[in-house]
Amino acid sequence: MRTPDEVEAAREGKDGLRARCKELRARRSAAERAATDSAIAARLFDLTAFQAARVIAPYLSFGTEVETRAIIERAWAAGKTVALPRCVPGTRAMRWYAVTSLAGLARGPRGVLEPAEDPARELDLSARADALAVVPGLAFDARGFRLGYGGGYFDAFLSSFRGTSVGLCREAQLVESLRALGAVDAHDVPVGLVVTEARVLAPAQPAQIRDMRGIRGIRDE
């Protein structure tokens, strides 16, 4: 049975949920976000998947998203290749380019900093089982589904990606079931792991999904 929060969220639809998540995220102070994001990064660094990956492919954080610059710096320090995405206008495709500095990035059509188009630095991540992709989201659930921004770029990427995908999420944006909220479509692709400041979830493990039953909809904390 749906909780009252889930019933209300389902009425809102995806756009309403996105607006609600952005509002909740913006309510947290910069200091709170910094502390939370530092804990999330520490849990990510402890993952065997992160340590073993030769390529780290993160989103470049924007606004109040979980910060990824420390993740990028850590990957460089460990001698890993860092690849950042560039959206292809008029499509749902992203191209990934190896970068050795954040200097020289320019804002793309969605307002996010992107690397320059450079065939010599382009990487085909779909063929890289040794890559770890760090995926953004406004909310994640116990099965690895995410509420994105509506562009479909990461879902298209994940549909052919064979490496490890990790969603970064603050606990306040973690829900039991996005499907119950009417926020999962046929083209949505779940991530392999979800990392919060408090835990690491492997959505394929049923026991962890059962442990999430106490989580209500998108919580107003």
Classify residue 48 by burial, with Cβ atoms within 10 Å: 0-12, 13-18, 19+. Answer: exposed
For residue 12, is pLDDT > 80?
no
Tell me: is residue 15 an annotated ligand-binding position. yes
pLDDT of 186 > 60? The answer is: yes
The pLDDT assigned to 8 comes to 53
Q: Is 105 annotated as a binding residue?
A: no
Question: Is 132 flagged in the annotation as binding?
Answer: no
pLDDT higher than 80, residue 67: yes
pLDDT in tens, 164-180: 999 999 999 998 889 88
Using the predicted structure, report yes or no on whether residue 5 has a pLDDT greater than 80. no
Measure the CA angle with vertex 216, ends 211 and 221; round to 5°: 115
Is 16 marked within a binding site?
yes
- Is residue 201 marked as binding? no
Torsion, Cα of 111, 112, 118, 124 (10° steps): -130
Highest mean pLDDT among 20-29, 71-80, 108-117, 182-191: 71-80
Which CATH number do you get for residue 9? 3.40.50.10420
Please name the residue that has the structure tokens 């976000």.
33
- Does the annotation list 60 as a binding residue? yes
Cβ atoms of 141 and 17 within 8 Å: the answer is: no
User: What is the model's pTM?
Assistant: 0.86
Instruction: Examine residue 197 and state whether it is found in any structural domain, yes or no.
Output: yes
Structural domain count, the chain: 1
Would the pLDDT of 69 be above 50?
yes
Lowest mean pLDDT among 8-12, 70-74, 122-126, 153-157: 8-12
Residue 123 annotated as binding?
Answer: no
Examine residue 57 and state whether it is found in any structural domain, yes or no: yes
**What's the pLDDT tens digit per position in 83-95?**
999 999 889 899 9
Residue 220 lies in a domain: no
Domain that holds residue 78: 4-214
Q: Is residue 69 part of a domain?
A: yes
Helix, strand, or coil (residue 173): helix
Task: Please say if the pLDDT value at position 6 is more than 90.
Answer: no
pLDDT at 212: 46
In a domain, 219, yes or no: no
Q: pLDDT digits over 176-185, tens only?
A: 889 888 888 8
Q: Is the dihedral of CA 131, 39, 84, 101 positive or negative?
A: negative
pLDDT of 105-159, one tens digit each?
Answer: 999 888 899 999 999 999 999 989 999 999 999 999 989 999 998 888 999 999 9
